Amino acid sequence: MILDLTCRPFRGDPMPFRVEVQHHALEHLMADALEAHRVYELMMIRRPGDVWKYLWVKALEVPAFVSTMMASKREEKFPYGRCPWLENSIPLNLFDSFFYWCWDDDTSPESVCWLREREGGSFLEFGRQLFQRIQQAQQEILKTDDLLIRAELTAIEALLHCHDMDAQLPFELTTPDYQSPTIPGRTTAYYDKLRELLALPEVLSVSVRGDEDFQTLRLICLEQRRRALDTGRPIGHDMPLHVISDHFPSFARWSAKVACWQEGVGYGDLMLDGYNWSCDYTELLRWKRRQLLALTHRSGGDIEGYHRTSGEGWVLYHDIRPGFDYAKVSQRERLDFLSRFEK
């Protein structure tokens, strides 16, 4: 929304005051929630006024006082590093702090210009319209059959969500160039192959060598939850998951049971390749670890003892050597995995 205002100073000619109020951060939030990311953040928007903190103001042509205040606020917020805000842009809540009413006729011309618009019916209606869009997105979320989103909604309703005891609500004010972590990092064919492998009865556990691909982790957590619903047993009993990860907050938000590793990774009947600096996956399969199934998104040649198949953006290795009881190993490792979550 572009606001074309006119600032009338105490003396001199009127000054242009043009800004654009941007709401791309709300669009990012709604899109992320549909991908099972930032669901709690979206559902906690309860009032029309909650949308203000997601808005940006971009200065198109403003009085000198306003541009000076914007520059000062940027320096105050980021005194030692690069400011992530785009040039001539500032969060609405901070922009609002520049202006205030004074007694009698002492209110600055810039404040008069902005506050009359900001407190007027058109601006307030703009906020209500944005809130209505949020409500529509929330209703869409409530109707979803995505098991991970439904798990979050159940936890929210029961006041058992991992964020329920946080002093501050989760909040991310994204810039126009925001790159969502939900953007697929693999090919469509890779994800199709992964779904096919996760459905195999012999795949009783999964290990992932990295947490950089959101959609891969989403699929394995989805399968873990699906199996729990099918068997009626607690989460994790039928699909132990191991991931090399320092911190991936969605695991807790989805109520998934995942063992996170700093070095090495626990056993999985299916090993998924990812970013890992310590050991190449081909070296791992050749010399260090026997693996029932190993799927990578990178190119790879034949490895002795493994049957290799490939497609667009994926290569699969299947151990064909006799004499190894993977089911027995998987059962033993499952007990070790469950012990990690015993209280």
Are residues 244 and 120 part of one domain? no
pLDDT value, residue 327: 83
Are residues 197 and 151 part of one domain? no
pLDDT band at 331 (very low <50, low <70, confident <90, very high): confident
Are residues 317 and 213 part of one domain? yes
Kindly tell me if the per-residue pLDDT of 7 is higher than 90: no
Helix (H) or strand (E) holding 131: helix 121-142
For residue 162, is it within any domain?
A: no
For the segment 113-123, what is each residue's pLDDT rounded down to a tens digit? 999 999 999 99
**Distance (Å, rounded) from C-alpha 315 to C-alpha 320?**
16
For residue 277, is it within any domain?
A: yes
Are residues 276 and 214 part of one domain? yes
Q: Which of 54-68, 130-144, 271-285, 294-308 has the lowest mean pLDDT?
A: 271-285
Q: What is the CATH number of the domain that holds 214?
A: 3.40.50
Structural contact between residues 283 and 276, judged by C-beta atoms closer than 8 angstroms:
no
Domain of 137? 2-157
pLDDT value, residue 311: 95
Kindly tell me if the per-residue pLDDT of 292 is higher than 60: yes
For residue 175, is it within any domain?
A: no
CB atoms within 10 A of CB 84: 11
pTM, to two decimals: 0.91
pLDDT band at 279 (very low <50, low <70, confident <90, very high): low
**Distance (Å, rounded) from C-alpha 310 to C-alpha 187?**
13
pLDDT value, residue 277: 57
CB atoms within 10 A of CB 232: 8
Q: Which of 49-63, 173-187, 275-289, 295-309 has the lowest mean pLDDT?
A: 275-289
Are residues 196 and 91 part of one domain? no
Please state the rounded mean pLDDT for residues 80-85: 84
Please state the rounded mean pLDDT for residues 196-220: 94
Structural domain total, the chain: 2
pLDDT value, residue 107: 86
Are residues 256 and 311 part of one domain? yes
pLDDT value, residue 172: 96
Are residues 216 and 84 part of one domain? no
For residue 167, is it within any domain?
A: no
pLDDT value, residue 149: 98
Are residues 120 and 45 part of one domain? yes
For residue 180, is it within any domain?
A: no
For residue 173, is it within any domain?
A: no
The last residue of one of the domains, among 157, 179, 207, is 157
Please state the rounded mean pLDDT for residues 28-52: 98
Q: How far lies 303's CA from each of 281, 285, 288, 306, 319, in Å?
A: 11, 8, 13, 6, 10
Please state the rounded mean pLDDT for residues 246-264: 90
Encode 64-118 in three state secondary structure: HHHHHHHHHHHHHHCCCCCCCCCCCEEEHHHHHCCCCCCCCCCCCHHHHHHHHHH
Kindly tell me if the per-residue pLDDT of 196 is higher than 80: yes
Are residues 322 and 219 part of one domain? yes
Kindly tell me if the per-residue pLDDT of 8 is higher than 90: no
CA 132 to mean position of chain CA atoms: 23
Closest CA to 2 of 26, 18, 16: 18
User: What whole-number percentage of the chain has pLDDT above 70?
Assistant: 97
Are residues 130 and 18 part of one domain? yes
Query: Which one has a higher pLDDT value, 325 or 32?
Result: 32
Q: How far lies 162's CA from each of 131, 237, 340, in Å?
A: 25, 21, 19
pLDDT band at 10 (very low <50, low <70, confident <90, very high): low
**Average pLDDT in the chain:** 91
Query: Which one has a higher pLDDT value, 325 or 125?
Result: 125
Are residues 305 and 206 part of one domain? yes
For residue 55, is it within any domain?
A: yes
Please state the rounded mean pLDDT for residues 236-260: 92
Are residues 123 and 8 part of one domain? yes
For residue 176, is it within any domain?
A: no
Please state the rounded mean pLDDT for residues 172-187: 96
- Of the ranges 160-164, 286-290, 299-303, the best mean pLDDT one: 160-164
**DSSP line for 25-46:** HHHHHHHHHHTTSSHHHHHT--
Please state the rounded mean pLDDT for residues 325-331: 85
User: What whole-number percentage of the chain has pLDDT above 90?
Assistant: 69
pLDDT value, residue 278: 58
Structure tokens at 112: 């008069």
Kindly tell me if the per-residue pLDDT of 79 is higher than 70: yes
For the segment 15-34, what is each residue's pLDDT rounded down to a tens digit? 889 999 999 999 999 999 99
